[in-house]
Amino acid sequence: MDHNLSNSQTLFLNGSVISENPLIIKTRGEDELELDPNSISDEKLRLLIGRFENGCSYLDVAEVLSDQSREQVEALLAGLKYNGIIRPSIAAEGKTGMEVLLEIEDLSNRLLYETLYRNTFWVNCIQAEKKGDVPDSVVHGMVIENYHFLFRESYFDAPVLSYVPNTRVRLAMNAFFAEEYGHDELLLQALNRIGLSREDLQKTVPLPQTMALCNALAYWAHNDPIFFFTTLGVLEGKDIRQDSFLEAAKRVGIDSEFIKPVKAHSDINLEGEHGSLTRKIFSEIPIVDVETIKRLHAQTHLFIELYDAFYTAVWQHYSDPKALSRRIDLI
């Protein structure tokens, strides 16, 4: 029997009085239950039922039953609750989806400015002016790792295609998936230009940091879809107008035919405003509960770290031109 009734709860009659004498309550579960006053006077019982009709606290009940011990009052309330005659009403506590997202965006921005935007990869890309400022192998390696990532897009997008809690969110994700699907083929066209075939890439091992990010997203998509949704804005580049990596690639003289299909993928994202997908999703989420909000804040740190590590690893590994191919058959 549940004795967990706190002083802060408001207790309501869960039904209506269908007979005064004998006193019979019909609950919302359609049970018809006669209340036997037992040790409580008939008058006090009816007074109590009247109080429940308008909602009252434990203290109100104790006041009416001032001649009863605390244990007797608690036993009475527990019995009434067990039989569905009264229900505590506990107000919902949470924030709207947009309010939560704006908090997460602010946190993400802070972390991005403190870490990822200052990592070797991005600093060199932003500052690149001429050939060699960003090694060709790094540009190629970035596309290779992006290919591995997009090849596995369905690993992390597909689990949320059946997002049950919110129809509009589910539809938005399905539309996004339809637009995003197949982008790995665009990057493959670019990689063909540097002599990498589909079969070569099939035998290539992604960087551990690429898979760490990919598996993290897939894990969250399966087990924490609302957090997964928060990552999409960062991954799809909500706040960019142009692809800084591609602009840098142009400036350092990368073959334009290599860049073209990569730009096509980037343009689809920009024109489709994929970076705003998270905003669209969270604007449709009416409420997020307290524990989830805490979790989203905490995990954002981890996500940005994984994302930062991805870019750093691309620079560190592919700065060595000989390291371009990570073929499993050569290990």
Partner 1 sequence: MQAPTTADLFTYPALRPGVEVQEEEDRIALIYRSQSCDIEVDPSSKDSVLALFKSIKSSVKSTEQLRLEYPTISESIAPLLEELDRLGLVTEGRFDRPAGARSGADLNASLRDLANRAMRRRCKSSLFNLMTAGTVTQAILVGYALEYYYLVRSAPGLIAPAMAHADTRASQRLIQRFLVSELDHDLMLAESLASIGIDAAKLDHMQPLPSTFALCSALGVFAKQHLLSFKSILFLFEIPSVDFNAAFVDNCLRLGLPEKFWKPILRHAHINDELDHDDITAELLSGITAISAEECLVVEKNLVLTIETMALQDEEIIEYYGRSNALAPRVFG
Binding site for partner 1 (CB under 8 A): 2, 4, 14, 27-31, 84, 87-96, 98-99, 102, 105-106, 109-110, 113-114, 162, 164-167, 172, 175-176, 179, 220, 222-224, 227, 239, 241, 272-274, 276-277, 279-280, 283, 285-292, 295
Half-sphere exposure of 65 (CA within 13 A, CB side): 26
Cβ nearer to partner 1, comparing 109 with 325: 109
Identify the bridge partners of residue 87 per DSSP, sorted by sequence position. 12
**At closest approach, how far in Å is the CB of 95 from partner 1?**
7
Of 212, 210, 211, 217, which is closest to residue 232 (Cα–Cα)?
217
Nearest distance from C-beta of residue 126 to partner 1, angstroms: 14
Question: Each residue of 134-169: b (16+ CB within 10 Å) or e?
Answer: bbbbbbbbbbbbbbbbbbbbebbbebbeebeebeeb
Identify which of residues 58 and 147 has a Cβ nearer to partner 1 in the complex. 58
Amino acid (one-letter) located at 172:
A
Considering the complex, state which of residue 123 and residue 323 has its C-beta at the smaller distance from partner 1. Answer: 123
For residue 216, what are the contacts with CB-CB under 8 A and spacing of at least 6? 302, 303, 306
Distance in Å, CB of 116 to partner 1, minimum:
13
Q: How far is the CB of 157 from partner 1 (least distance, A)?
A: 14
Q: Nearest approach, Cβ of 63 to partner 1 (angstroms)? A: 24
Q: Would you say 155 and 218 are in contact if contact means Cβ atoms under 8 Å apart?
A: yes
- CA–centroid distance for 140 within its chain: 31
- Residue nearer to partner 1 on the CB measure, 19 or 223: 223
Q: Which is nearer to partner 1, 7 or 66 (CB)?
A: 7
Assess contact for 122 and 244: CB atoms under 8 A: yes
